[in-house]
Amino acid sequence: MIIITENISFKDQVNLLSSASHVITYNGSSLVNTLFMHENTQIIEIRNSVLQQHDAYMFWSKWFNRKYHVLKCFGANSAQEIIDAIQFDDQIIL
């Protein structure tokens, strides 16, 4: 299951993570912090602003040996862009 979300409660995060293979989130949502504790979920973040915390995300991604993707865009992402991002294994997309 692929989840696309922006702002959800912590309780909902826990429930969703139990069945999610990929989670797409927007602009540094707090969801990312919960995702890093969940072993089997790939994270895709869509940014429409300057990525100020890129180095921190790189650190945590390596620390947890996780796949973390960032899409940088100034308009709506197409479904194909999201699908393409999921296919990468360990690349940060800016």
User: Given CA atoms 74, 76, 78, 79 in this order, what sign does their dihedral have?
Assistant: positive
Q: Could you give the count of Cα atoms lying within 13 Å of 90 in the half-sphere of its Cβ?
A: 8
**What is the Cβ-side half-sphere exposure of residue 45, based on CA atoms within 13 angstroms?**
27
Q: Do the Cβ atoms of 57 and 68 come closer than 8 Å?
A: yes
- Predicted TM-score (pTM) of the model is 0.34
- Tell me the per-residue pLDDT of 64-74, one tens digit each, with 9 for 90 and over: 445 555 555 44
Give the Cα separation of 92 and 61 in Å (integer): 10
Tell me which residue of 37, 85, 30 sits closest to 53, measured CA to CA.
Answer: 30
48 vs 72: CA distance, rounded Å: 6
Please give the residue that has the higher pLDDT: either 91 or 69. Answer: 69
Q: pLDDT-derived band of residue 92, with 50, 70 and 90 as boundaries?
A: very low
Three-state SS at 38: coil
17-56 confidence digits (pLDDT tens):
555 655 665 555 555 555 555 555 566 665 554 444 555 5
Average pLDDT, the chain: 53
